Amino acid sequence: MACIHRVSGPASGGIDVFIGTVRDATKGKEVLRLEFETYEKMALREMQKIAAAAFERWPVQALVIHHRTGVLQIGEVAVVIAVSAAHRDAAFDACRFTINTLKQTVPIWKKELFADGEVWVAAHP
């Protein structure tokens, strides 16, 4: 929730926050926990690019991206994106753009652990 404080200020009228949590099932199969691996230096650069693109496209005041790594249990917060703007449309659009682009470009890998094995998400067609 520190992410929310970091984007709020007297000139902001709307803050949109996306919180991605660890779901207990994927395609109907029970997930025990997740593991996130990252190429940290490159991930930060890619996140920086997303933020720069968001600031260029929308009148955004502040944008925070926070992503956990390592082992996460069901229900834990994996990612938080908080965007503040004077008006809510910019906050909504920039927040959604940020999570969508993060999922496409930022080098972070999620492994789902099941009772009978594990799968790197999206690895295979």
Partner 1 sequence: MIELSNMQIKIQTFGIAREICGDAQISMLVPESTTAGQLKQLLTEQYPRLGALASFLLAVNEEYAEPHIQLQANDEIAVIPPVSGG
Contacting positions for a second copy (CB under 8 A): 1, 4, 8-25, 74-75, 86, 88, 91-92, 95-96, 99
User: Which tokens is 67 given?
Assistant: 């992503």
Instruction: Work out which of 77, 99, 113, 114 binds partner 1, going by CB under 8 A.
Output: 99
39 binding partner 1? (CB under 8 A): yes
User: Which tokens is 21 given?
Assistant: 């949590």
DSSP state of 27: T
Residue 17 vs residues 32, 33, 52, 66, 102: alpha-carbon distances, Å: 26, 24, 18, 11, 15
The residues of the shown chain that bind partner 1, judged by CB under 8 A, are 20, 36-39, 41-43, 45, 67, 78-79, 99, 102-111, 120-125
